Amino acid sequence: MQSQQTPTNDKIKSTPKHTANLDMTGDEPKRKSITILRPPLEVYSFWRDFKNLQYVMKDIAEIDMRSGGISHWVIRPKHSPPIEWDAEIINDRPGEIISWKSLENSNIKQAGSVWFSPAPYGQGTIVRLSLIYDIPGGKISEWFAKLFKEDPETLILTNLRRVKAFLETGEVPTIEGQPSGRDEDSRPIPIQKTSNLQGNYAH
């Protein structure tokens, strides 16, 4: 069993095992996992720079990193006004876990945790993502269906698959099941893979 490591920032607090600690009245956390054929520290490093997520996650339009571990998140649904909130990192153990939650004054309450675990036989990293939202006036499933035309579990899994595709191949799939298709939401990706260890994680 690995020994517990202290967070890398004195302002970062520890959190419960399964998700960031938020007093919410909304739906249960949505949890999905995927195996990525890259080392845990590389996957963690990609995720830890939240700005990378805006280029690979389908629903995230913009993430602006600010001082003190604060980030500003923006979702731009096609037929609705932008949705914005500020979040803070509350748990950070390199190569193991990142947890965050929205600030108290945010209109949208959201919290998430992502764990990075070595896959068996050195076959990359098991990434486990848990997200919870507290949406005024409705359930998260209804909110996602209205804004994104799909349920939250499907969207979370789609985003994990897009992260996997980028880290393994350097490309983000466009239309699911149609690699040559065009995605009307696609954006240039000004980021590069950070490792040359592809040979150690062959398909």
pLDDT digit string (tens) for the chain, length 203 residues = 443 333 333 333 433 444 454 454 556 788 999 999 999 999 999 999 999 999 998 878 899 999 888 999 998 877 778 888 999 999 999 999 999 999 988 877 889 999 999 999 999 999 999 988 776 655 655 666 666 666 778 888 999 999 999 999 999 876 544 443 334 444 445 555 544 433 333 33
CA–CA distance, 73 with 61 (Å, rounded to integer): 8
Domain 30-192 CATH superfamily = START domain (3.30.530.20)
For residue 134, report the phi and psi dihedrals to the nearest 5 degrees.
-125, 105
What single string gives the DSSP state of each residue in 122-135?
Answer: G--EEEEEEEEEE-
Burial 167-191 (b: 16+ CB within 10 A, else e): bbeeebbeeeeeeeeeeeeeeeeee
CA–CA distance, 57 with 163 (Å, rounded to integer): 7
CA–CA distance, 102 with 135 (Å, rounded to integer): 12
Helix ranges (H only) for 49-202 are 53-56, 140-148, 152-169
Q: Looking at residue 186, what is its pLDDT?
A: 47
The region, left, alpha or beta by phi > 0 then psi within -120 to 50, assigned to residue 52 is alpha
- Residues in a beta bridge with 111: 101, 132
Q: Would you say the pTM of this structure is higher than 0.85?
A: no
- Residues in a beta bridge with 70: 88
